Structure 1
Amino acid sequence: MGRSLNPQAAGVKRISPENLRRIMTESSEEAVKLLVEEADRFGKGLSKSLTTSQIRNIFGEVRSIEQDVLPTDQQLSLDVQRRLLMLKPKMAYQVGRFSNDEALKALVETLSEAIDLIGNDKNRFQTFVNLFEAILAYHRCHGGKTN
């Protein structure tokens, strides 16, 4: 997604690039705490306008990709890396379907940025899954719309 979102326009402040980088690349207790705090804040912001089904459409694909990661793998296979990168145009399509949804744009930009930080690192992929799962959980916890 080449263009930048004005976070105030939607009332949803996305996860900053600095915090996202810390969450995705650092292996520390502070990074895990930051993941939970940011997912709570972001999920709450998304809950005001984004439906659970809009998020689950994307999350379902992430879960499908996760099934291709074997416990014995040290790094992500080229196929998994390809599927992750192809998730970006699929998410862009979702934004196109809901063209006036600034919250969805904020989510897609955040997830796309996180995907760029994964590379072939299996631990970073798992952090990505954890982050997305936490955002979805907090979205629902804060009363996110179901339809």
Structure 2
Amino acid sequence: HIQFDETQTTHLTDFAKQNHVTVNTVIQGAWALLLSRYLNRDTVCFGATTSGRPTDMNGSNTCLGMFINTIPVITEIDPAQSLTTWLQSIQNANVRSRESEFTPLYDIQKQAGQHLELNKEGLFDTLMVFENYPISEALQSEERQDTSF
């Protein structure tokens, strides 16, 4: 579990804006590079969680229960490619993957089948969860709920 302070968050946000990508994409890129080096592979696959809440469903943000899903992020590390181009390709793939965001993980694994030979032990090398919300606001909200009997 990694938590960034305000200065680190500002640096990440500025870097993402300069490269026309989201902070999530920057973090996914860093994770992909780390996995690539650790696993000694040019192509890596990790699971990324999505909120899974249908934006077109009226009141989905007020529904109770978990809608979370995990989708694969597959990326190739190409040293000849610029960092900006590579990060933008990850972001573009993430946008395209939104079409499969509601597909159950067991169907994704089934569809990947033998076409995905990145990891002989499973579909993902790792799972990455990116949470983008102000912790202090969430804690304050939780404290208010606890004291408002």
TM-score over 0.5 for the pair: no
Bucket of the pairwise TM-score, normalised by the shorter protein: under 0.3
Task: Answer with 1 or 2: which has the greater Rg.
Answer: 2
Q: Structure 1 or 2: larger helix share?
A: 1
Q: TM-score, normalised by structure 1?
A: 0.23
Q: Which has the higher contact order (CA 8 A, sep 6+)?
A: 1
